[in-house]
Amino acid sequence: MKKPKDSVIKLRKLKEIRRKDLERNLLDIQLKGQNHYVFIKENGKAQVVFKDGQWIAEHIRTAILQFNFEVNKTNNMFIKDFEEKYIKEYEKTS
């Protein structure tokens, strides 16, 4: 079996770091104190679950849409597309 190139490994790790940062921002900043459950599905996208009869506030809906957009964007990024903070985080962990 062929070993993946260093650049492939680096790209995978950068995507993982960015997704974790996006998730942390969504849960700890955007939706902090909200009365809804947010699940991160296998594909990395967020899904809001709420009790019957409750409406999802517009800012929650917007935060989820923005998060899912950024997850899709991350999946299509190349190493050159990542912000410097993600490159530095990668360098600290490798």
Question: Which of 22, 3, 5, 16 minimizes the C-alpha distance to 63?
Answer: 22
Note the pLDDT of residue 72: 95
DSSP label at residue 40: E
Checking if the pLDDT of 56 tops 80, the result is no
- Residue 65 CA to residue 1 CA, distance in Å, equals 39
Residue with tokens 């849409």: 65
Q: Which residues contact 16 (CB under 8 A, 6 or more apart)?
A: none
- Residue 21 CA to residue 10 CA, distance in Å, equals 16
Note the pLDDT of residue 84: 96
0.85 exceeded by the pTM?
A: no
Q: Which residue has the higher pLDDT, 19 or 1?
A: 19
Beta strands 37-40 and 46-49, pairing class: antiparallel
Tens-digit pLDDT profile for residues 7-50:
999 999 999 999 999 999 988 888 777 666 777 888 888 877 66
DSSP label at residue 26: I
Checking if the pLDDT of 58 tops 90, the result is no
Note the pLDDT of residue 51: 61
